[in-house]
Amino acid sequence: GENVEQHPSTLSVQEGDSAVIKCTYSDSASNYFPWYKQELGKGPQLIIDIRSNVGEKKDQRIAVTLNKTAKHFSLHITETQPEDSAVYFCAAKDTGRRALTFGSGTRLQVQP
């Protein structure tokens, strides 16, 4: 089955700096890669996703890149703000599978 590894497990940045979180996946059939933000006491919130026919996608301060050859994808947050502090999860799936396979999460702390 699919296996997703996520790094780093914790990340502390100063407000205004950029943050990068990286994930690798094992199943070359995976073609859908969402990113979720989970705040304390809440469920994961979908913040951006990318499909395998696209190499990069951007939404305001958030961008995701995908390298299918290397089987890795990354989340980039620019101009970080204290409200970006949360746990971020990457996930992978192919259209034939029902389940998202999640990484182990990255706790992002943005210091004001």
Partner 1 sequence: ETGVTQSPTHLIKTRGQQVTLRCSSQSGHNTVSWYQQALGQGPQFIFQYYREEENGRGNFPPRFSGLQFPNYSSELNVNALELDDSALYLCASSWDVGGEQFFGPGTRLTVL
Q: Which is nearer to partner 1, 14 or 95 (CB)?
A: 95
Beta strands in the chain (DSSP E): 4-7, 10-14, 19-25, 32-38, 45-51, 56-59, 62-67, 72-77, 86-92, 101-102, 106-111
Query: 82: which DSSP letter?
Result: G
Q: Does 105 bind partner 1 (CB under 8 A)?
A: yes
Q: Does 74 bind partner 1 (CB under 8 A)?
A: no
Q: Which is nearer to partner 1, 77 or 103 (CB)?
A: 103
- Burial (Cβ within 10 Å: 0-12, 13-18, ≥19) of residue 35: buried
Which range binds partner 1 by CB under 8 A, 14-22, 42-50, 58-66, 68-76?
A: 42-50
Q: Where on the phi/psi map is residue 16: left (φ > 0), alpha (ψ -120 to 50), or beta? A: left
* Per-residue binder mask for partner 1 (CB under 8 A), 9-38, x = binder: -----------------------x-x-x--
> Minimum distance from CB of 10 to partner 1 (Å)?
11
Which range binds partner 1 by CB under 8 A, 11-19, 53-61, 62-70, 87-95?
A: 87-95
